[in-house]
Amino acid sequence: MHNNDVEDPNYRKFVQPLVELITSRQKREDRGLDFGAGPGPVVSKMLELQGFHMTLYDPYFHPDTVVLERSYDFIVSCEVIEHFYEPAKTFSQLEALLAKGGRLYCRTTLIPDDIEFSRWHYKNEITHVFFYHRETVAWIAHNILKCNYTIIDKNLFYFCMKPFS
């Protein structure tokens, strides 16, 4: 249902908060991976326009698995993690791709506390196979990634790969 087109001003506006989050926390020389970049890697293009070097991976549109043999200072997954059939396995894979102190930036719509799941529109997209709640994000951080996390709003959060003290 997304129009992942670099030239689409509405989609650029949609991903702008994610781009701003990354540019406020990463250095231009940091290595970035767009995991699940899709046919139109809008986030990567917007970051490249600001001087970031991005590598693309998507099992369908950018399937070069050689890029999964490197490490990255940050990874971005925009509207991707809800498509993970095996979230624990995929989050572990992403954690292994991050350099020490790296960050994983995610955008997906979190399940609201005040909604009946059967009425939630986001679940109706047939390619969405896993859904996240704030508690799910915390569980992933503590039990899979063993890292700190920050939830920015109802659809934007990141994990920082620093061990708990």
Taking CA atoms, 153 is separated from 91, 104, 165, in Å, by 20, 16, 26
Q: What percent of the chain has pLDDT over 70?
A: 95
Its pTM stands at: 0.92
pLDDT of 124 higher than 90: no
The conformation of residue 50, written as its DSSP 8-state character, comes to: T
State residue 162's pLDDT score: 72
Residues ≥6 apart with Cβ < 8 Å to 119: none
**Per-domain boundaries in the chain:** 9-160
Q: Is 54 left (phi over 0), alpha (psi -120 to 50) or beta?
A: beta
Per-residue pLDDT tens over the stretch 127-144 = 998 999 999 999 999 999
pLDDT of 164 higher than 90: no
The alpha carbon of 120 is separated from its chain's Cα centroid by a whole number of angstroms, namely 21
State residue 3's pLDDT score: 56
State residue 165's pLDDT score: 41
The CATH classification number of 9-160 equals 3.40.50.150
Residues ≥6 apart with Cβ < 8 Å to 59: none
Per-residue pLDDT tens over the stretch 41-97 = 999 999 999 999 999 999 999 999 999 999 999 999 999 999 999 999 999 999 999
Q: Is 101 left (phi over 0), alpha (psi -120 to 50) or beta?
A: left
Taking CA atoms, 16 is separated from 6, 46, 114, 133, 147, in Å, by 12, 8, 26, 22, 25
State residue 1's pLDDT score: 47
Please give the angle made by the CA atoms of 138, 157 and 140, to the nearest 5 degrees: 25
Mean pLDDT calculated for residue range 23-35? 97
Phi and psi (nearest 5°) for 100?
-55, 130
